[in-house]
Every structure is written in C-alpha cells, then in structure tokens.
Chains A and B, each alone.
Chain A
Amino acid sequence: MADMQHIPNVKMSAQGVNVLYGEKQAIRDVSIEVDLENVTALIGPSGCGKSTFLRTLNRMNDTVSGARVEGRITLDGDDIYGADMDVVQLRARVGMVFQKPNPFPKSIYENVAYGPRIHGLAHGKADLDEIVEKSLRRAGLWDEVKDRLHESGTALSGGQQQRLCIGRAIAVEPEVILMDEPCSALDPIATARIEELILDLRGNYAIVIVTHNMQQAARVSQHTAFFHLGRLVEQGPTTEIFTNPREERTKDYITGRYG
C-alpha cells in the first residue's frame, strides 16, 4: 500500500494475505505491520474477518479443518508458514488471549506454570516459582491470588480469569501477544483493569488487539486498522483514524452509523 507510513521496529508483517474456509473467502488481500512500540487495534463490524486475521498470526487457523492461508506473514523476517517454521515454537513466541477466559481446570499456579513446563523454561522448583510470581505480577493479579495459588483457576471471577490467561501467556516470554476481544465477556471494572494492563505491557511485547469497542481501541492502541467484509479498508495512527478518517466507510463505522 502506497499510503502506508514507515513504522520502525517491525515485529510481524503480513503481505497480501488471503484466508479461505473451503470455497468461502474470509480475508482478502490484507497487508499490515505490527511493531514493538505500539499496540495495534483491529476494529470492524462482526464477521469482518478481524478475528480470523488475528488467528493467522500464530497459525491457530491450522486447527480449523478446511482453512487455507495464502500470502506471506513474517515474524522477524521469517515466513511463519514456511517449511522450516515450527508451529510449536511460533506459538511460544506469539502468545494469544481469547475472547472468553479459558483457564485450565487446574490450580492458579499450575495454569501459569503450564507454558514454562512444556517449553522447559524453568530449572527447578524455585525458578518456576519465580516465573509464576513474575508473570502474575505483570498480569496485575499477584496481590489478589498470592495466598491461594493452589486453588482452582476456574474459581476466580471473570476478570481475574482473563488476567490469569494473560499471565499464563506472559509466562512463556512471548514476543507478540494477540488478544481476541479480551474484554467482551467482562464487566466495565474488569475491562478497565485489563486496559490498564495492556498499557503497562506495551513496549515489552508487540500487542495486537481485536475489539468491538471503539472507545477501547481509542484508549489502548496507537495504531488502528479498520476491517470490513474481509478487507483491510484503512489503517494508520489511532488518533488519525478516529479524528480524520480518509475512507467514508471508516467514518460511518466510527460514528456509529453501522456496526
């Protein structure tokens, strides 16, 4: 795209991405870059393909039978759909937080320790304890759960569960964190905490967030991309998209004329 401005520190880059479910094309020719300094928000009406696109970034679409991804997506310049890319390692580097909190039916501790265990990141119990504490602190959950680490993660409130899932994702030291409408199942107070957390995490991780909530995109992101009917209509600095969109469709969506 000619009008795409140069962004320093590009972490992930997508060029001409198409996603097809069987015959149906869900994503058409999407190109975007994700960088370390900024939070990137993907907005658009339901069914516009923003979640589908997000899932291509850590190959979660691989688990959907019949899904096909075309085009080129790179992480630090390496093609993530390339033959020498191991999907397990890719997902360790590109973590994901889902729409509905999905803690494992294990203790809070075990939820966070899960990733470090499978990737062999901890050397001994003390090391693991430290990773769990550090991750929960970063997720802003430590003070609430430090005395009950061995209670079930599913017993927490919805907002706490979502922060646990973020902590769980952080524990494997990812470089990118993908968030798929992380607040859509939460109340406003829990949502505010997650938004604060996203602002705290910015700079340490490249963050891509899909959201339905325009105010949320405006609050947490610095870069915004607007999707409509499987196409990337417009992208740019968040302030620009929200105050001075170039495209008519973007303007209509942002002002609430449809969506």
Chain B
Amino acid sequence: MSGTMTLFVVVALGAIGWIVARARATRMQAEAGRLATNSLPSQHGWYVALWTALPALVFLAVWANVTPALVLDSVLQAPAAQALPADGFTRSAILGEARAIASGAQAAAFNPQSMTLVEPFRDAARHYGGMGALLAVILAFAGGAYALSRVRPAFTARRRIEKLVMWLLLGASLIAIVTTAGIVGSLLFESMRFFSMVNPLDFLTGLKWSPQSAAMGYGNEDAFGAVPLFWGTIFIGAIIAMVVAIPLGLMSAVYLTQYARPQVRKWMKPTLEVLAGVPTVVYGYFAALTVAPALRSFAAAVGIPGASSESALAAGLVMGVMIIPFVSSMADDSIAAVPQAMRDGSLAMGATTSETIRRVLIPAALPGVVGGVLLAVSRAIGETMIVVMAAGLAANLTLNPFASVTTVTTQMVQLLTGDQEFDSAKTLAAFALGLVLFVVTLLLNIVALRVVKKYREAYE
C-alpha cells in the first residue's frame, strides 16, 4: 500500500468513525433525552473522528522520517551490499543512485554497481511501507474503538473538542514564533562562528571591507571592517531615501486628509498605495537603468568628480519613492486620528487651513508620524533589490552621493550567492551582517510601535 493510499484510508476511517459515533450518539440522545446528554451528536462524531485519524496521522509522519534509515540498514544487510567499496564518498553515491532508481526518480544507473542494489532497496521499501500502513490502520482502529467506547450521555465531548481546537490554534501561532526563534538562533550560531575568527570590535569599527582578500588567503586581519557598509546603508536608506519620502509622504497625507475632496481622495489614495505593491525588483531596474545613468550624465555635465554609473543617490531616490506610501499612510492615519474638535477649535479662532495644519494638526499627529518614519527607515535599510541593482559593490566611505557605495544587504547577497563553503570567514560574515541588520530593525520597530501606541492612547 502506498503512502498516499494509507493516508486516504486513515482519513476515510476517520470519516466512518464520525458517522458511526454521530449515529450512536443520536440514538443515545433519543433514549436519554436532550438534556441528559452533555454534547451534541456531531461533537461526539468529531471526537471519534479525531481519535481515529490524528494518532494514525502522527504515526505516519514519524514513520516517514524513520523508514529511510531502516531501509538503508536492511539494504546493507543484503548480500549485494557486501561488495560496496569502503570509501565513503563512492559508497554513498552508489547507495543514493540505487535508492533513486528504486523509487523511480531516476531511470538508469551511472554506476553499474547501483543496479545490484535496486532490488534490495525495493524490497526493503515495500516491507517497511507495508508495515507502516498496517500499523497506521491498526492505530486508527484502536483509537476509533477507544473513542467510540466512550460515547455516553454524560461524556463531555463538547469540552474536549473545544480544548483540542484551542491547542490547534495555539500550535498555529507558535509556529510563527518558533520560526522566528529558529532564525535568530541560526543567525546567532553562525555569527558566533564568524566572531571566533574575526574580532567583533574590528568588525563593528573597522573601516576597510575586503572579504575577497580574506578568502584568497591574505588573512582575516583588517578585511572585515563593516563601517563602510553601515555607512552606505544609512546614507541610502536613512538619509537620501528619507529626504525624499518624509516631505513627499507628509505633504501628500496633508493634502489627502485636509484639502482633497472625497471624490479626489477616493481614487488618489489607492493609486498612491499601489506604489507599495510594486515589486522591489521593478524599482531596482528602474533605478539601475533609468535613474542612475541620468544622474551620472548630470554629474558629469555639472563637473562633480567621482560620479559613478551606480550611485547612492540613484538607489536612495528610488527607495525614497518606494517608501512614500508607508510614510503617507501612517501620517494619514495619525492626522485623521486628531479629533475634529482640534481642527474646529483652531479654525474658530480665525486660523487658516494651513495655519491649522502647521500649528495644530501636525504637532498633534507628530508621534504617529515619527513612528511611521521609523518603520519606513527600518524597511528601507532592510531593502535589498534596489541597492543590489543600483548602489554598487564598492565599499566606499564617502559623502558624495554620486559615488558608488554598498550596503549591508548588497554584501550579504554577494557573500552568499554562488558556490560557497560554509566554514570560511567570508561566508560567515553574511550572518554577522544579518544579525546586525536584524537587531537594528528590531529595535527600530519596537521603538516605532511604542511611540505609535502611546500616541493612540492619548486620544482614546
């Protein structure tokens, strides 16, 4: 019996369990009276169905992970396996090939010796597969029978189902948390390995970034100074992009909340928000193919030295445009949250609309706006595609926006793409960079959410 078939049988048994239990509970209720029975017939049905299917499904999941080892074990016991070479690499290559042919994933053998092992593999797989299926079905029957025997008027199937639902939901929410913890754990672990090769202080304060020279055997000294990367990231994400996004986002929010007529707002706001839905790779080639060359020609025409075809300004400007909807929608929310009474109060004193906006609405909305800006910064410094395509790779420590700079994310992509060995400082540096980025964005998010929350409370 194949795995899919077993799965189907188990689920079918669960369905049968549901029907049987429900029928029995219905009969029981008819005899005992509605109020004497604790739970509804369908709840008894669910109780039995879950007892039938869940243990068997859990068993199958575990079994699927255990069988490969058992199969391999029994294959190695087979006479044909005695002829395998002792050398680990060839040995595992032959075994892998035989397994692939046996399962039908591969048609023919590259190494003739694999063919002799195909049959033992097939036998073992059939053996353990059959055993698993049998055990699963027995488990399903046992679970179902146990649960069915408990169907009594006083049995609290209702409460047990509720409890199970709670555990299911808890499990679902824990998955996200566990994944986050796993990511942090792997970042920390790999970063520790990196920091055992490179002094953390050198990494955080060093001014020279040339991981390639370290990879080529010149030693790890002075090769992993990440300050130029941090500077590039801040220069593009927190300075140039924000110089574009803050005023434009804020002004469009003011226009949309205070000046725009409802008809105008109705189409303008969604249009603006479409910007947030454009894939960043599209922004990336817009920056690289349109904005960057135009800026370079401009710089050359004006006579600015050091102009490069990949510039901080190109990446920063386009990223700023990308961030506009974030800033504008946060600012829009905060301005709209300022009570109408404030606005009326100011207008009734003879203030004009723009005076009211400048002196009352924006100061009152400021915490929300600041929170929005921090969230935008945290997004901008984690943004990858635009900078990979438009900012360049040269780790320059420069104030010239027309020069090429590189960012943390760009370097991480560089360090990890292609064939890499995962034990050199060069590759591990990516994890250390990732850790720094993670910590910084996390802090920004925490601060931003605090600020926004505090401000929301002020008017509630």
CB of A95 closer than 8 Å to a CB of B:
yes
- Name the B residues within 8 Å of A65 (CB-CB): 261-262
Return the chain A residue nearest B366 by Cβ. Answer: A105
Q: How many whole Å from B367's CB to the nearest CB in chain A?
A: 10
Pick the contact of A91: B339, B342, B347 (CB < 8 A): B347
Contact indicator A60/B350 (Cβ below 8 Å): no
Q: Which of B262, B346, B347 has the most CB of A within 10 A?
A: B347
CB of B349 closer than 8 Å to a CB of A:
yes
Q: Provided the pairs A114-B359, A118-B355, A118-B359 are in contact, do residues A104 and B348 lie with their beta carbons within 8 angstroms?
A: no
Return the chain B residue nearest A102 by Cβ. Answer: B341
CB of A232 closer than 8 Å to a CB of B:
no
Contact indicator B342/A169 (Cβ below 8 Å): no
Contact indicator A102/B339 (Cβ below 8 Å): yes
- Name the A residues within 8 Å of B347 (CB-CB): 60, 63, 91
Contact indicator A58/B348 (Cβ below 8 Å): yes
Q: How many whole Å from B322's CB to the nearest CB in chain A?
A: 32
Pick the contact of B364: A104, A114, A165, A168 (CB < 8 A): A104
Return the chain B residue nearest A96 by Cβ. Answer: B348
CB of B182 closer than 8 Å to a CB of A:
no
- Name the A residues within 8 Å of B364 (CB-CB): 104-105
Contact indicator B349/A118 (Cβ below 8 Å): yes
List 30 A-B pairs, Cβ < 8 Å.
Answer: A60-B348, A65-B261, A65-B262, A88-B351, A90-B350, A91-B348, A91-B350, A92-B349, A93-B350, A95-B348, A95-B349, A100-B341, A102-B341, A102-B342, A102-B344, A104-B345, A104-B346, A105-B363, A105-B364, A114-B346, A114-B351, A115-B350, A118-B349, A118-B351, A118-B355, A165-B345, A168-B345, A168-B349, A169-B349, A172-B350
CB of B169 closer than 8 Å to a CB of A:
no
A89 to B351, CA, bound (A): 9
Q: How many whole Å from A138's CB to the nearest CB in chain B?
A: 16
Return the chain B residue nearest A60 by Cβ. Answer: B348
- Name the B residues within 8 Å of A93 (CB-CB): 350
A137 to B347, CA, bound (A): 24
Return the chain B residue nearest A104 by Cβ. Answer: B360
Contact indicator B349/A98 (Cβ below 8 Å): no
Q: Provided the pairs A114-B349, A115-B349, A119-B350 are in contact, do residues A60 and B344 lie with their beta carbons within 8 angstroms?
A: yes
Q: How many whole Å from B458's CB to the nearest CB in chain A?
A: 7
- Name the A residues within 8 Å of B359 (CB-CB): 114, 118
Return the chain A residue nearest B364 by Cβ. Answer: A105
Q: 4 closest A-B pairs (Cβ-Cβ)?
A: A92-B350, A102-B341, A91-B350, A96-B348
CB of B352 closer than 8 Å to a CB of A:
yes
A91 to B349, CA, bound (A): 6
Contact indicator A104/B342 (Cβ below 8 Å): yes
Q: Which of B343, B344, B349, B360 has the most CB of A within 10 A?
A: B349
Q: How many whole Å from A54's CB to the nearest CB in chain B?
A: 11
- Name the B residues within 8 Å of A90 (CB-CB): 350
A51 to B312, CA, bound (A): 58
Pick the contact of B344: A63, A89, A105, A119 (CB < 8 A): A63
- Name the B residues within 8 Å of A104 (CB-CB): 342, 345-346, 360, 364
- Name the B residues within 8 Å of A169 (CB-CB): 348-349
A119 to B345, CA, bound (A): 15
- Name the B residues within 8 Å of A58 (CB-CB): 348
- Name the A residues within 8 Å of B261 (CB-CB): 65
A102 to B359, CA, bound (A): 15
- Name the B residues within 8 Å of A96 (CB-CB): 348
Q: Which of A89, A93, A118, A119 has the most CB of B within 10 A?
A: A118
CB of A68 closer than 8 Å to a CB of B:
no
The interface bits of chain A over 134-170 (1 if a CB of B lies within 8 angstroms of the residue's CB, else 0) are 0000000000000000000000000000000100110
Interface residues of A in 85-115 (CB under 8 A from B): 88-93, 95-96, 98, 100, 102-106, 114-115
- Name the B residues within 8 Å of A100 (CB-CB): 341
Pick the contact of A118: B262, B350, B363 (CB < 8 A): B350
Return the chain A residue nearest B262 by Cβ. Answer: A65
- Name the A residues within 8 Å of B352 (CB-CB): 88, 118
Contact indicator B458/A105 (Cβ below 8 Å): yes
Q: How many whole Å from A56's CB to the nearest CB in chain B?
A: 13
Contact indicator A106/B342 (Cβ below 8 Å): no
Q: How many whole Å from A170's CB to the nearest CB in chain B?
A: 11
- Name the B residues within 8 Å of A95 (CB-CB): 348-349
Interface residues of B in 272-317 (CB under 8 A from A): none
Q: How many whole Å from B96's CB to the nearest CB in chain A?
A: 69
- Name the B residues within 8 Å of A165 (CB-CB): 345
Contact indicator B262/A89 (Cβ below 8 Å): no
Q: How many whole Å from B333's CB to the nearest CB in chain A?
A: 17
A100 to B341, CA, bound (A): 8
- Name the A residues within 8 Å of B348 (CB-CB): 58, 60, 91, 95-96, 98, 169
- Name the A residues within 8 Å of B342 (CB-CB): 102, 104-105
Return the chain A residue nearest B261 by Cβ. Answer: A65
Q: How many whole Å from B268's CB to the nearest CB in chain A?
A: 17
- Name the B residues within 8 Å of A115 (CB-CB): 349-351
Interface residues of A in 169-197 (CB under 8 A from B): 169, 172
The interface bits of chain B over 250-282 (1 if a CB of A lies within 8 angstroms of the residue's CB, else 0) are 000000000001100000000000000000000
Q: Provided the pairs A65-B262, A114-B359 are in contact, do residues A172 and B341 lie with their beta carbons within 8 angstroms?
A: no
Q: Provided the pairs A98-B345, A100-B341 are in contact, do residues A106 and B363 lie with their beta carbons within 8 angstroms?
A: yes
Contact indicator B351/A98 (Cβ below 8 Å): no
Q: How many whole Å from A50's CB to the nearest CB in chain B?
A: 17
Contact indicator B346/A89 (Cβ below 8 Å): no
Return the chain B residue nearest A106 by Cβ. Answer: B363
Interface residues of B in 327-361 (CB under 8 A from A): 339, 341-352, 355, 359-360
Q: How many whole Å from A61's CB to the nearest CB in chain B?
A: 11
Interface residues of B in 362-391 (CB under 8 A from A): 363-364
In the complex, besides A91-B349, A103-B345, 9 extra interface pairs with C-beta distance below 8 angstroms are A60-B348, A88-B352, A90-B350, A95-B348, A100-B341, A105-B342, A105-B458, A168-B349, A169-B348
